[in-house]
Amino acid sequence: MQKIPFHIISGFLGSGKTTFLKRIIEQYSSEKKIGIIQNEFGPINIDGAELKKSGHDFNLLEINNGSVFCVCLLGDFVRSLKKFIDEYQPDIVIIEASGLSDTTSISEVISAGSLAEKIYLASNWCVVDALNFAKVGLMRQRVSHQIRMADIVVINKTDLVKNGLDSIREEIKKNNPFAEIIETTFCTMDFELGNSAIDKFYFGEIKTMPRPEINSMVIKSGRKMSRDALAQFLNEWAPKAYRIKGFVNLKEGKTAAVQCTLSSVEIIEIKDAFHPTELIALSDQFTLREWNRSFKELS
């Protein structure tokens, strides 16, 4: 069975994640078998009921009454997702994460164990509510973390904001200097659910080549690296990866945002910010064990 691309949609409560899902269903349901996972903290999934009214064809797995990434539900989630994939065999799987989800933990879960044989992390989207971005209060840390780990940040509800979009863009870039930013109303946009680094190579000029057996993997660590060691680490592994991205805690007392795409290595030191080391890689040429061992040797 060929591995299935897995896409994460995160964002704080009311930002427009379900609306974004509707747009995806509208665009892709006629050409792809879509599997959708919705995770809500409440006992009833109102958003799931709303999606079902769309009239489009998709399969839905609902996980209610808590985060799927707390220990008490994690085993059930893994079993449910494996059964869901085996039963429906979707072409793509999308999770609408709860507003409080840690998306790095999502990446870890799907990149380990038996799920890693079925799916790989293809993209991570974060939907931001332009009107209420400054009002998240105590949830600021979680929202910032979702932005940090996103590939693409969608600033939604821009029609409701007369001033302040510049400051939102600045805040996003401060948290994630490599994120692509798209501004929308009602999540209406042109988009592709693919992995640009992989699709560009395998489905661009060389269309006859099959998609490789991609592994997605995550390193989360309290270890620190020197900037020179980080450059050595990335230059060793970037040529073997389609993408490496994330944040590394430096021994020099700073944090580095990193992004590598097909041998291109970018390192940006972030001022006035502390982030634990969180790295995500996509590759068909090395394993998490090899990658993690190299990281530990250099840190």
Instruction: Determine the Cα–Cα distance for residues 153 and 125; give it in Å rounded to an integer.
Output: 6
Instruction: Determine the Cα–Cα distance for residues 1 and 163; give it in Å rounded to an integer.
Output: 50
- The predicted structure's pLDDT at residue 228: 97
Kindly give the parts of the chain with pLDDT less than 70.
Answer: 1, 40-50, 52-55, 64-74, 136-139, 193-212, 272
Q: What is the location of CATH 3.40.50.300 in the chain?
A: 4-194
Phi, psi angles (nearest 5°) of residue 215: -110, 130
- The predicted structure's pLDDT at residue 208: 40
- The predicted structure's pLDDT at residue 53: 67
Map tokens 């640009």 to a residue. Answer: 196
Query: Are 123 and 10 in contact, with CB atoms under 8 Å apart?
Result: no
- The predicted structure's pLDDT at residue 56: 74
Where helices occur in the chain by DSSP H, the ranges are: 17-28, 46-52, 71-88, 103-110, 140-148, 165-175, 196-200, 227-237, 288-298
Give the tokens for residue 166: 């510049």
Query: Are 244 and 266 in contact, with CB atoms under 8 Å apart?
Result: no
Q: Which CATH architecture has domain 214-298?
A: 2-Layer Sandwich (3.30)
- The predicted structure's pLDDT at residue 150: 93
pLDDT in tens, 251-261: 998 999 999 98
Fold classification of 4-194 (topology level):
Rossmann fold (3.40.50)
Instruction: Determine the Cα–Cα distance for residues 123 and 6; give it in Å rounded to an integer.
Output: 7
Alpha carbon separation from 91 to 5, 96, 181, 266 (Å, rounded): 8, 17, 26, 32
- The predicted structure's pLDDT at residue 12: 83
Q: What is the location of CATH 3.30.1220.10 in the chain?
A: 214-298
Give the tokens for residue 18: 């379900």
The secondary structure of residue 210, as a DSSP letter, is P
